[in-house]
Amino acid sequence: MTSTWAAEAGKRLIKIAVPNKGALSEAAAQMLHEAGYAQRTDSKELVLLDEANGVEFFYLRPRDIALYVGEGTLDVGITGRDMLLDSGASAVEQLSLGFGGSRFRFAAPAGSDLELEKLDGLRLATSYPGLVGAYLAQRGISVRLIRLDGAVETAIRLGVADVIADVVETGTTLRQAGLELFGDPILQSEAIMITRTGVEPPRGFDQFVRRLNGVLVARNYVMMDYDVSDDHVADACAITPGLESPTVSPLARQGWHAVRAMVPRKQAQQIMDDLWAVGARAILVTDIAACRI
Ligand SMILES: Nc1ncnc2c1ncn2[C@@H]1O[C@H](COP(=O)(O)OP(=O)(O)OP(=O)(O)O)[C@@H](O)[C@H]1O
Ligand SMILES: O=P(O)(O)OC[C@H]1O[C@H](OP(=O)(O)OP(=O)(O)O)[C@H](O)[C@@H]1O
Ligand SMILES: [Mg+2]
């Protein structure tokens, strides 16, 4: 089938950077696949053209993606919020993508009883010197930053640092290294979609955003259908207001209506209980395969 893209000859492809490996890579490719885009089948492929949808994907290290977008070499990127801030690139967050969630935290050997104010003069190891440096500078704290590529948690045991700042998801890596958190979280990070600062995104970008939003809504909402007697329609609709408004249709059976509304997936069970309590019956939940809201 010819897409609207192919039909409009002469429109330039949108160049999109996608993490080629690491914590965000698989989930990013899955999201793009659910949004209807072609994705590479071989993890060694570096570029993939999806001409029918007017896009070209470049598989790059997540740390480099903000740089390419900030320089204007690529139009759009998927990376981590922590990596965007660390890079200092001229790129802005357009949409958070709901995966790759983590916190960026300070840690020190268990029992050291450290606080932010005691960091002055200490050696701090991190793979995110831009992010940590800016955070500490804003608070007037001066440390010796030791920039490492990864496995930062080991730096203290090996004697090159006194404290670290790193990505924490479950906390397992920290615990296994005998470390504990201190200070407030520096940042709540997750996968985000970015574009170049101050530059109008290319034509067709809106369609890309709508598709990703469609995936997020389909993941986060379900469709709920139920029957309810006329005198309880108002109570039931108050429980399921939908995104705009629920659909209420008369049933063949006198005195009853059918109601249809989108509800947050995580609350679906509680909502069904609440509907039952106001007299709704035949309550059904179905997945949303795709949508444009
Ligand atoms: N365990 C994790 N859970 C959730 N997000 C994570 C985790 N580890 C890293 N991330 C996030 O994924 C993004 C990319 O990090 P990733 O670890 O994939 O890259 P890297 O450290 O440069 O590469 P690698 O670890 O492959 O050497 C960052 O935004 C980071 O916050
Ligand atoms: O809290 P956890 O669930 O243990 O996850 C956090 C760990 O995951 C990442 O490591 P990664 O595997 O990316 O290795 P790296 O440190 O070399 O980047 C991150 O740098 C932490 O070390
Ligand atoms: Mg890593």
Q: What is the pLDDT of residue 1?
A: 46
Q: What is the pLDDT of residue 10?
A: 59
150 lines ligand 1 (CB under 6 A): yes
% of the chain surpassing 90 pLDDT: 95
Measured distance CA(281)–CA(286) in Å, rounded: 16
Instruction: Give the residue whose CA is nearest to atom 17 of ligand 2.
Output: 150
Q: List the Cα angle 195/197/198 in 5-degree steps.
A: 120
Measured distance CA(108)–CA(97) in Å, rounded: 31
Comparing CA positions, the residue from 234, 280, 238 lying closest to residue 263 is 238
Mean pLDDT (whole number) for 85-101: 98
169 lines ligand 2 (CB under 6 A): yes
The boundaries of the domain holding residue 245 are: 221-287
168 lines ligand 2 (CB under 6 A): yes
Instruction: Give the residue whose CA is nearest to atom 7 of ligand 1.
Output: 23
Q: pLDDT (tens digit, 9 = 90+) per residue, 196-230?
A: 999 998 999 999 999 999 999 999 999 999 999 99
Has residue 95 been placed in a domain? yes
Q: pLDDT (tens digit, 9 = 90+) per residue, 113-163?
A: 999 999 999 999 999 999 999 999 999 999 999 999 999 999 999 999 999
Q: What is the pLDDT of residue 11?
A: 72
Asked whether residue 128 falls in the same domain as residue 86, the answer is no
Measured distance CA(293)–CA(281) in Å, rounded: 28
Contacts of 126 (CB under 8 A, 6+ apart): 132, 145, 146, 147, 148, 152, 164, 165, 166
Asked whether residue 12 falls in the same domain as residue 96, the answer is yes
173 lines ligand 2 (CB under 6 A): yes
Cα–ligand 2 centroid distance for 166 (angstroms) = 8
CATH number for position 32: 3.40.190.10
Has residue 293 been placed in a domain? no
Measured distance CA(156)–CA(90) in Å, rounded: 33
- pLDDT at 8 exceeding the cut of 80: no
Tokens (6 digits) for 29: 């490719």
Measured distance CA(129)–CA(41) in Å, rounded: 35
Tally of CA atoms within 13 A in the half-sphere of 125 that contains its CB: 18
Mean pLDDT (whole number) for 224-247: 97
Asked whether residue 116 falls in the same domain as residue 163, the answer is yes
Cα–ligand 2 centroid distance for 276 (angstroms) = 45
* pTM score, whole prediction: 0.93
